[in-house]
Structure 1
């Protein structure tokens, strides 16, 4: 599977709890923080839920 770099670009202030939990589950939490994860269906679903808060690039 491919690896992806996920960077948080927007704040989670005034966001629903499910979106806050999704950000936490990826290991993010502050703007401009990045993580590198192995892409799979679970990670893809989380990314789709918070796609307006993050940027994703393939490594």
Structure 2
């Protein structure tokens, strides 16, 4: 099963509270922070909701 490497590249200053909560749910706390998550439909949905704030790579 593949994993997703998610990196926060934009700040959360002018983002909506729902988007801030989504970024925190992914485990990201500051710009440049990176987490590795399972490639599941739930995680894909979270990433899709904040796709303008993060970059995503597939890793094995």
Give the TM-score, by structure 2 length: 0.94
**Cα distance in 1 for residues equivalent to 2:2 and 2:13:** 31
Structure 1: 5+ residue stretches without partners = none
**Cα distance in 1 for residues equivalent to 2:6 and 2:13:** 19
**Which residue number in structure 2 is paired with residue 39 of structure 1?**
39
Give the TM-score, by structure 1 length: 0.96
Structure 2: 5+ residue stretches without partners = none
Displacement after TM superposition at 1:57 (Å): 0.3
- Aligned-CA RMSD value: 0.6
